Structure 1
């Protein structure tokens, strides 16, 4: 088991992966919050005249 210093390529790759992960997490938060707002406003309800029984 060697304790070598990580290569510079791995450090750059980690930085890129971290940036991508944060971007995707931000996108997920935006989509989730828009969904919660849309559902809580009642936009998914049918108008009262079109309710099927």
Structure 2
């Protein structure tokens, strides 16, 4: 592993880009799980007894 204190500007930019890509991927996954949950629960809400 590289030492963040001794990395070049190019390495820092690459690391920042990877971190942003990971954050966007994680956010997309969370939104996808949320939407799937809402869709699955939405169908059951309409079928409940009165």
TM-score by length of 2: 0.69
Higher relative contact order (CA 8 A, sep 6+): 2
Structure 2: runs of 5 or more not aligned: 1-8
TM-score by length of 1: 0.66
- Of 26, 30, 33 in structure 2, the residue corresponding to residue 30 of structure 1 is 33
Alignment of 1:7-18 (within 5 A): 7-18=10-21
Task: Please list every run of at least 4 consecutive aligned residues from structure 1 whose deviation after the TM superposition is greater than 3 angstroms.
Answer: 44-47
Structure with higher helix content: 2
| Alignment RMSD | 2.0
Structure 1: runs of 5 or more not aligned: 1-5, 49-53
